Amino acid sequence: MVERLTRASSQEIANVVTLFLGLAIGSTMVGAEFLKLSTLAILLLGIVAFALDAVAGVLFGKLLNAASGGRFNPLIGAAGISAFPMAARVVHRVAQEEDFENFVLMHAMGANAAGQVASVVAGGVLLALMGAG
């Protein structure tokens, strides 16, 4: 039973929730307001930030690997982005492709959760600095 619930929550239920969320937000959005240059700039900045975050995480992971004498897997740094839980799953899968005995999922989830917390804190600081809070 647990296996069926786990599979359903990670696939079907997540897809349905995403669909309803998209419909709820999309139904309130006016097309002329969405199709602006500023909206595309925000999307582009998000993609650049996502890529730079992954690269910086891997580079910091390499630094920790060198400092620990090779006991730290640099891939864990790539899980620090706040795309929960997909980033941790991707890191785990890539690590297992290299060596099947690598099991870094729990470590990657820890870095992933820390990335989420850091994103929320950074957003709060940004809102406070802008005077919107």
pLDDT, tens only, 40-81? 898 899 899 888 988 998 899 999 999 999 888 888 988 888
Instruction: Give which of 100, 93, 98, 66 is closest to 78, Cα–Cα.
Output: 93
- Which region, left, alpha or beta, applies to residue 69 given φ > 0 means left and ψ of -120 to 50 means alpha? left
| Three-point CA angle 124, 79, 123, nearest 5° | 10
pLDDT at 132: 61
Q: Does 133 score more than 70 pLDDT?
A: no
Give the integer Cα–Cα distance in Å for 92 and 111. Answer: 12
Q: Which residue has the tokens 């897809």?
A: 15
Q: Which residues contact 89 (CB under 8 A, 6 or more apart)?
A: 105, 108
- Residue 90: CB atoms within 10 A of its CB come to 17
Q: Does 7 score more than 70 pLDDT?
A: yes
pTM above 0.85, yes or no: no
Tokens coding 89 = 């799953």
